[in-house]
Structure 1
């Protein structure tokens, strides 16, 4: 069976002002199947955000290949890549990135404003249904400044999922939340991913968040390695440096 997304030998380098080269990612191999749930942990500067941008088709590798459903994305034109990203990927960020002055319903329906199918005409109905799914059916008309942190994150989740993406990328999704609210948000995210058979990739420095996944990886100095749950449990969160 073809993987939903496959990385082979992916590397990323940038050229510094002194003409030296900085290696951010080094020879990464990764396959993510539909319905998969994996977590990637690592310290600040380990390359987690760069890897997430490549998985989300926001950036391309300096070397190696990226395939989605067997299609090689590194050969696609920008327009085709944008359409594929819009159909396939949903992003949930630590900073909620909601539009101030816009209601929860308007924030969630916004991604459907770019749809080219009947989703465009049903965008308010679908946004309303997704907000009800995340427990905010009573807050449709609330703007971000009138929502708690946990409510804002749930609006962000609804916005990420309203287009029913097959790949959900969560970048430090609980970093701005207290422990209890963060646990509730992660449980909700995992539950919705299971219901839609979407793959969920969580980028985090928090071992408790990572432990919710079925597969676990560590990114260290640009090298991605699988790790066991026992390794996560043995780590001291106080020694972690937030990304």
Structure 2
């Protein structure tokens, strides 16, 4: 896809609700309006249960909205076939989670190669070299053959970052990426994510409880009772 002035993700009046076992409807998100462009740095804060992770799942094509209009690179997500959503998510979206979700029994190098098993052509055949270079990029060139359980928390998060960014996604979605890390390691992790995003002009949307992490973004949003509020104040 060619990068340009159109948004990567455009949401208008987007809602997400689920039907509970007793038959009641629970509204998680309501009336969400949001555009995310190439190079954007967006932070979203909110209380637990406010719908932050649900919003990230919608932006990342994991879930589809119950209401409203959501477009990814100009395509209507609600009418998009599942296979198309999966391909776009694999090619254009990188997820960084608080829980590292590394594959047990696989080395750091094998974990980072995983997203490239479905890459087209040359990228597929060069996947080991590309994964190796990305691990070196995040300072783990000496830990390629190490299993996740032998890595520290900060090292596991770096592997997770390398795996999320190895295909140079256009949209990076980070869900509490520093929540399981100490302050210094968390700052290092955010610097790494931002640096790689800057190299490719990728958009970065970060879900966080930490005001110092939120302050690193240029746009600051808050989710309150399923609604998105713009221009919150964050500490300098």
Give the TM-score range, shorter chain.
over 0.9
Q: Which residue of 2 aligns with 1:167?
A: 171
Does residue 27 (structure 1) correspond to residue 31 (structure 2)? The answer is yes
Q: 2:234 aligns with which of 221, 232, 241?
A: 232
Name structure 1 gaps, 5 residues minimum.
235-243
Q: 1:193 aligns with which of 197, 212, 220?
A: 197
Q: What is the deviation of 1:18? A: 2.9
Q: Summarize deviations over 1:132-174 as a string: whole Å, max 9, x none.
A: 1111111111111111111110100000011110000000000
Q: Which residue of 1 aligns with 2:98?
A: 94
Instruction: State the SS of the aligned residue for 2:136.
Output: helix
Q: Which residue of 2 aligns with 1:237?
A: none
Q: What is the deviation of 1:105? A: 0.5
* TM-score, normalised with respect to structure 2: 0.95
Q: Name the Cα RMSD after superposition.
A: 1.2
Q: Summarize deviations over 1:62-107 as a string: whole Å, max 9, x none.
A: 0011112212122111111111111110000000011122111110
Q: Distance in 2 between matches of 1:163 and 1:92?
A: 13
Name structure 2 gaps, 5 residues minimum.
none
Q: Distance in 1 between matches of 2:83 and 2:189?
A: 33
Q: Distance in 2 between matches of 1:18 and 1:152?
A: 40
Q: Which residue of 2 aligns with 1:158?
A: 162
Q: Which residue of 1 aligns with 2:50?
A: 46
Q: Distance in 1 between matches of 2:49 and 2:207?
A: 13
Q: Distance in 2 between matches of 1:120 and 1:202?
A: 29
Q: Distance in 2 between matches of 1:56 and 1:223?
A: 18
Q: What is the deviation of 1:206? A: 1.1
Instruction: State the SS of the aligned residue for 1:98.
Output: coil
Total equivalences in the alignment:
232
Q: What is the deviation of 1:186? A: 0.5
Q: Distance in 1 between matches of 2:42 and 2:219?
A: 5
Q: Which residue of 2 aligns with 1:240?
A: none
Q: 1:63 aligns with which of 40, 60, 67?
A: 67
Q: Distance in 2 between matches of 1:30 and 1:70?
A: 14
Q: Distance in 1 between matches of 2:115 and 2:166?
A: 8
